[in-house]
Amino acid sequence: MMTETEATKLIKQAELTQPKLTKHFMQVVHDQDLSHAYLFSGFAGLGKLELAKTVAMRLFCKNVQPNGMPCGACNECVRIAKNEHPDVMLVEPEGQSIKVHQIRTLKQEFSKSAVEGNRKVFIINGADLMTNGAANSLLKFIEEPVGNVNSFLLTDDYHKILPTIQSRTQLVEFPKIDSQLLIKYAESKQLTKTALNLVLQLTSDVMFIDRLCEDNWLISMKQQVESWFSMLSKGDYQAFTLIQTNFLPLLRDREDQKVTIEMMCLIFRDVFNVKFKNTPASELAFGNIYDLISQMANHLSDNQLICIIDDILESAKKQQINVSFQNILEVITLDCLNQIKE
């Protein structure tokens, strides 16, 4: 049995999220009819980067499978998946944007001959985050590509891309993942009903579901958020201690930080849904503590609840600008306690 590589995982993700588009592009490559520039547009989690890399693997693969897919095991496929192939370049935002020097570096690399063949591929992930200077620099390059170059620009919304770039690329709009397919995949993780609800509210990305469930992280953090919420409901300032002792050790990176804040927001959205919509426990992300959520719904006024949710969303913005995450969680906790104890 072949060991699953990072490359085979990417291919699997592309086939799972966008089976029709993946099959289409494999046929286009087979027919040698690939356009020089594509604009992939669609929400996060729809497989844009995975498909772009799968196309790149298919172009360079040394052992194309009978079904037309790249093998995911040869040296070419493996290096492309790891961003180590000299003729395939991935550009992503530095901080909050893609800067002009990144595009200039890309142009310099692609002005050279291909290292290992006669083709080069570049992928710009988050193309809508290019600065004006970067976008204009890229425009000139797309207008007059040097040699055999294929480009893939990835964006959540093609309307954010310069019209002049749009006109020089072939737009591919990514359809949403079939909801039943996503539910079935999440169910394969053997989650409880409420944990399943939580996953489906956090993401529509099957690979991100894998990440959330890795080492039981989702369940562990969900339990801590529930404990935090329980302390808040009692006006217990030990909620601050919980952040330092229980939350922070679970956080692996900034992505975990973002999800943690989203979970804090979702537990109060559950309160909102119980208060205003009488949503049953089976449809909540934290339905296993329904009685506590119902008590909070009865305790908080409409304005207090809305203020708490707004405060959490506002604090979430600070996570994007490198403010101390412990400080962010403590501010959220203090804001919640102030509203709850009024």
Q: Considering the entire predicted model, what is its pTM?
A: 0.68
User: Which tens digits make up the pLDDT trace of 46-63?
Assistant: 899 999 999 999 999 999
Q: What Rg do the C-alpha atoms of the chain give, in angstroms? A: 23
CA 315 to each of CA 56, 260, 263, 308, 337: distance values in angstroms, whole numbers, following the listed order: 39, 12, 13, 11, 15
- List strand residue ranges (DSSP E) for 92-208, in order: 120-125, 149-155, 170-173
Q: In the structure, what pLDDT confidence band is assigned to residue 3 with cuts at 50, 70 and 90?
A: low
Task: Look at 31-45, 104-118, 260-274, 286-300 and tell me which has the smallest mean pLDDT.
Answer: 104-118
Rounded CA separation 30/32 (Å): 5
Is residue 98 classed exposed, middle or buried when 0-12, 13-18 and 19+ CB atoms within 10 A define those classes?
A: buried
In the structure encoding, which two tokens stand for residue 77, read together? 């496929």
- Alpha-carbon torsion angle 300, 304, 320, 45, nearest 10: 60
Rounded CA separation 64/74 (Å): 10
Rounded CA separation 73/9 (Å): 11
Q: In the structure, what pLDDT confidence band is assigned to residue 147 with cuts at 50, 70 and 90?
A: confident
User: Which tens digits make up the pLDDT trace of 60-85?
Assistant: 999 999 999 999 999 999 999 999 99
Average pLDDT of the segment spanning 217-243: 96
Would you state the pLDDT for residue 50?
95
Task: Look at 112-116, 130-134, 137-141, 320-324 and tell me which has the smallest mean pLDDT.
Answer: 112-116
User: Which tens digits make up the pLDDT trace of 271-330?
Assistant: 999 999 999 999 999 999 999 999 999 999 999 999 999 999 988 888 767 778 999 999
Q: In the structure, what pLDDT confidence band is assigned to residue 115 with cuts at 50, 70 and 90?
A: low
- Pair 153, 124: CB distance under 8 Å: yes
Q: In the structure, what pLDDT confidence band is assigned to residue 1 with cuts at 50, 70 and 90?
A: very low
All domains in the chain, ordered by first residue: 6-173 (3.40.50.300), 179-340 (1.20.272.10)
In the structure encoding, which two tokens stand for residue 51, read together? 């498909």
Would you state the pLDDT for residue 270?
97
Could you report how far apart the first and last alpha carbons of the chain are, in Å?
A: 62
